[in-house]
A = this chain, B = another copy of it.
Amino acid sequence: MRAPNHLDQTLLALADPTRRAILQRLSAGETRVTELAEPFAMSLNAVSKHIRVLERARLVHRRREGREHLLSFTPKPMDDVARWMDAQRANWSARLQALDDLLQAEDRAAASTPPDKKGRTR
């Protein structure tokens, strides 16, 4: 029994072209379910399920107005993803930078001592 966290659910929700298309459509404004489903080559029910996935990930908010359900895009979870990715890339860059510094230090050391075959591949 896993307890999927928010990042899991957001990324999972985004990992489907239909759902990304839905979000794209919604970022142009509130839309009814049927209207949203119309362009897709699948049943209304299938789209309804996709919407539930997006709601679970809090990427979509539903507002009921009579028998119509109006959906809107709520971008906050994507900010969280962006933050995770930024952190990840910061790590990565930091490591590359450290590696670079190290290599330069080695070069300087090599320059002041008899050059004895430094194999810096790449």
**Residues of A in contact with B (beta carbons under 8 Å apart):** 5, 7-12, 14-17, 20, 23-24, 27-29, 73, 75, 78, 81-82, 84-85, 88-89, 91-92, 95, 99
Contact = CB atoms under 8 A, between A and B. Distances in A.
Contact of A17 (B5, B15, B17, B82): B5
Contact of A27 (B12, B14, B15, B92): B92
Nearest to A90: B27
A91 B15 contact: no
Copy number in the complex reads: 2
At the interface, is chain A mostly helix, strand, loop or mixed? helix
B81 A85 contact: yes
A16 B7 CA distance: 8
